[in-house]
Structure 1
Amino acid sequence: MQPRLTYRQHARAVLGLGLPLIGSHVAQFAITFTDAIMLGWYSVEALAAEVLGGTMFFVLFIMGSGFAWAVMPMVASAQATGAIPQVRRVTRMGLWASILFSLATLPLMLGSGALFDRMGQEPATAALAADYLEIAGLGILPALMVMVLKSYLAALERTAVVLWVTLGAVALNAAINYLLIFGHFGFPELGVQGAAIASLGVNIASFVVLGVYVHRSAPEHAIFQRFWRPDPEALGRVFRLGWPIGLTNLAEVGLFASASVMMGWLGTLPLAAHGIAMQITSVIFMIHLGLSNVATVRAGQAHGRGDGTALRDGARVVLGLSAAVALATMALLLLLPDLLVGLFLAPDDPDRAEVIAIGRQLLAAAALFQLVDAAQVQALGLLRGVQDTRVPMVIAALSYWAVGVPVSYLLGFTFGLGGPGIWLGLASGLALAGVFMLVRFWRWSVRQIPSQPSSLRQQG
């Protein structure tokens, strides 16, 4: 039995594991962030196309990431109980599930042009977005495999390497963007296609580096040894835990993707402003996502030990830290909107003033959902840690799609509020999800685990 940790000790453990994870998430998002800034300086049309194409890629990527995120609590629980073979089995089958998902979704991205036309997007923007996805879409396979390896390493609390590899990816992406978007140093000027080539190259390089590291640093797990051999039992467990996570991710990201489609109905400039506001708020979300991953790992460890006291205390600490970040970022969004939006636009862009004006309104709406967004993502992380994924999936689907999307449409179009109305609809869906998921965790999941830790036991 382990002694009860103080809240300060929990906070130190959370920050020790969480800061590298937060840094890696921010760095990972910095790749997309860099694309948006450079394409915004290239042209507003290129930026709008990347928003559209990048949104579709991200929707499919985040859905497929459910299998990677399923690996995290399973590895954390197995490692906590010394079940080393389970670590190898679930990680390997997480990679298998990611490969199968990638092969199934790749045709959607290669044929995205027709889909964008049916969504009512402007023809020029749709064509550019399809050009982007024909190249960048190939990167979903290495990108999802990278996510599995990151989840495996995070569960083992080896987060420093994840941070450094991701920082290297940011630098590589920026360099290739500089050469291929603008055509510097004799390279062809490819615009949005240059950004796509950079994204593909970075995803491949990241997988190679992390794969080599895992192979050399953890020989006891032998993740890639006899990789070709199927393991139906472990694949089934990864699938059963992962598909609800994937659909939950899809429900949330689909909420924001639907907002992108609706903003596209308002025109190219509102869509560009929406893309910029999404970039800004997504950087903030990466902080909460890093803390949510810590919540999953710590909850998974407590779940493996049967330690309900550590589970509850750790949950309070993670929720408190996330709330503090949310309050700070609310002030940032309300006080410095013009500066933040202006970073994405060339000083002499003729549309600069109008895009900033629209973006200012969107960031004001975004400030309203910082606390509820933080609450729902931490609740999801805690629920995944105790391997409770199906009910949260239902909560997410109903909150985001039965409430968030309809309210966005009503406020944005029926009541004529435009972009701010669409974003206020997002806030309503996130608020409902946050409340019900927190209730789910405290009233159900926590009660399934006793207050005091049980003896260590083998899992699986």
Structure 2
Amino acid sequence: MATQLSHKDHTRAILVLGLPLIGSHLAQFAVTLTDAVMLGWYDVEVLAQQVLGGMLFFVLFIMGSGFAWAVMPMVAEAESAGRVAEVRRVTRMAQWLSMLFGLACLPVFWWSESLLLLAGQQPGVAAGAQDYLRIAGLAIFPALMVMLLKSYLAALERAQVVLWVTVAAVFVNVLVNYALIFGNWGMPELGIRGAAIASLAVQAVSAVGLAVYAALVTPEHALFSRVWRPDWEAFGAVFRLGWPIGITNLAEVGLFAASSLMMGWLGTLPLAAHGIALQISSATFMVHLGLSNAATVRAGRALGRGDLDGLRRGGAVIIAISGVMVALTIALFLGLPGPMVGLFLAPDDPDRAFVIAIGVGLLAAAALFQLADAAQVMALGLLRGVQDTRVPMVIATLSYWAVGVPMSYVLGFTLGMGGVGVWLGLAIGLALAGVFMMWRFWRITLPALSGRPA
């Protein structure tokens, strides 16, 4: 029989696992953030190019991460239940699926200018985005491997090293950006291409570092031994759990990508302001994403032990922690929007005041959807922990694309609210997803698990 933990015990366990995951997500996100800050200081139009290029990369990366994220609940449950061989099999085949997905992405990155022009983007911005992606697109392979190894190590509750590797990556990215974007230390001035080279190098070094660590600390799993040998049963299991996660990820990030395209229709400066506001709101979202990953691991381990009371109690605690962070974020967005947006712009930029004015309005809208965004990602984390992924995929797709995107267009363009209207449409889609996913976990999935054989 599983030992019952108090709310205090659950809080401590969640924070021990969740804080390094939050830190690692923030650090990995900071690689993109430093690109945006340094390119914004270099040239606002170049920043707009990176916003579009980075958006397309992230859309495909987050979709491909579905197979890596499937590792987290599967390894957590298998490890908790003592099925060591299953841990190895699942993780190896997730490597296969991740690399195959990366190969499929390369043509999209290479000919991205045509796709962006079809989406109504300005020719100069689309051309610069393609320049970025023809280099940075190669980072899809190490980036997916980093996500897979993060999921594997988190499921084993070894998340601390992930934090330190990704923090080191941020500092390396800043140094390489400084050298290659601006042409410092005798290096050529490469602008957006310099940022792309830096991102590729950092992802590659991070993947190698995590792979070496994983091989050394978990030799019993032999993750990279005979990795070329297929295991079709495990391949199918990871695929069946991972593809709905990937589509769910795509539905959500696609919602924000659609908002970027709409902002591009408003002009280069509104798009740059949108990119800055999105970077800021995404940074705070990393906190909830880290907690969501912790929820997945804790739920998977509780499932492996057959501890449904611990699953229920831990779920309530982690949602409460996320709620506290939402309150702090809303206060920050409403209290200090101007200074935060201004960090991304050179003091003598002639467009600085205009971009800040747009960004302040967008952050006010972002404050409204913090609760909805946190609720849906926490519910997703809990549902993934108990390997419930297909219905959440349907909920996400309908909420974001049947409601969120149309509302963004109606509010932003039909009703003439501009960028703020686009962001309010995002809030509506996220709120709908949050309500239905929370309802599913507490009212459908948990009661169904109560009847599952121990």
TM (norm. structure 2) is 0.99
1:174 and 2:183 aligned: no
Separation of aligned partners in 2, 1:2 and 1:119: 54
Q: Which residue of 1 aligns with 2:424?
A: 424
**Other structure's SS at 2:3 match:** coil
Residue identity in the other structure for 1:310: G
1:333 deviation in Å? Answer: 0.1
Q: Which residue of 2 aligns with 1:302?
A: 302
Q: Which residue of 2 aligns with 1:99?
A: 99
**Other structure's SS at 1:373 match:** helix
| Native 8 Å contact 1:411 1:418 kept in 2 | yes
Separation of aligned partners in 2, 1:362 and 1:209: 38
Runs of 4 or more consecutive aligned structure 1 residues displaced over 4 Å after TM superposition? none
Q: Which residue of 2 aligns with 1:319?
A: 319
Q: Which residue of 2 aligns with 1:458?
A: none
1:350 and 2:372 aligned: no
Separation of aligned partners in 2, 1:192 and 1:285: 26
| Native 8 Å contact 1:306 1:449 kept in 2 | no
Separation of aligned partners in 2, 1:448 and 1:117: 48
**Other structure's SS at 1:38 match:** helix
Q: Which residue of 1 aligns with 2:362?
A: 362
Q: Deviations over 1:391-436 (max 9, x none)?
A: 0000000000000000000000000000000000000000000000
1:287 and 2:287 aligned: yes
1:308 deviation in Å? Answer: 1.1
| Native 8 Å contact 2:299 2:386 kept in 1 | yes
Separation of aligned partners in 2, 1:401 and 1:2: 42
1:448 deviation in Å? Answer: 2.2
Q: Deviations over 1:159-182 (max 9, x none)?
A: 111001001111111110000000
1:207 and 2:207 aligned: yes
Separation of aligned partners in 1, 2:173 and 2:151: 22
Separation of aligned partners in 2, 1:57 and 1:170: 18
1:449 deviation in Å? Answer: 2.4
Deviates more, 1:122-131 or 1:349-358: 122-131
Separation of aligned partners in 1, 2:254 and 2:402: 12
Alignment of 1:56-455 (within 5 A): 56-450=56-450
Separation of aligned partners in 2, 1:25 and 1:454: 36
TM (norm. structure 1) is 0.98
1:454 deviation in Å? Answer: 7.8
Gaps of 5+ in 1: 456-460
Q: Deviations over 1:196-245 (max 9, x none)?
A: 00000111111111111111111100000111100000000000000000
| Native 8 Å contact 1:307 1:454 kept in 2 | no
Q: Deviations over 1:369-398 (max 9, x none)?
A: 011110000000000000000000000000
**Other structure's SS at 1:237 match:** helix
Deviates more, 1:207-216 or 1:408-417: 207-216
**Other structure's SS at 1:183 match:** coil
Separation of aligned partners in 2, 1:258 and 1:433: 17
**Other structure's SS at 1:199 match:** helix
**Other structure's SS at 1:185 match:** coil
Residue identity in the other structure for 1:234: A
**Other structure's SS at 2:54 match:** helix
| Native 8 Å contact 1:62 1:253 kept in 2 | yes
**Other structure's SS at 1:416 match:** coil
Separation of aligned partners in 2, 1:52 and 1:20: 30
Q: Deviations over 1:88-130 (max 9, x none)?
A: 0000111110001001111101110111111111111111111
Residue identity in the other structure for 1:41: W
Q: Deviations over 1:232-291 (max 9, x none)?
A: 000000000000000000000000000000000000000000000000000000000000
Residue identity in the other structure for 2:417: L
Gaps of 5+ in 2: none
Separation of aligned partners in 1, 2:176 and 2:320: 40
Separation of aligned partners in 1, 2:347 and 2:391: 48
1:307 deviation in Å? Answer: 1.3
Separation of aligned partners in 2, 1:156 and 1:130: 39
Percentage of identical aligned residues: 68
| Native 8 Å contact 2:377 2:434 kept in 1 | yes
1:27 and 2:33 aligned: no
Q: Deviations over 1:73-99 (max 9, x none)?
A: 000000001100000000011111000
| Native 8 Å contact 1:182 1:190 kept in 2 | yes
| Native 8 Å contact 2:2 2:306 kept in 1 | no
**Other structure's SS at 1:18 match:** helix
Residue identity in the other structure for 2:170: V
How many residue pairs get aligned? The number is: 454
| Native 8 Å contact 2:2 2:305 kept in 1 | no
Residue identity in the other structure for 2:113: G
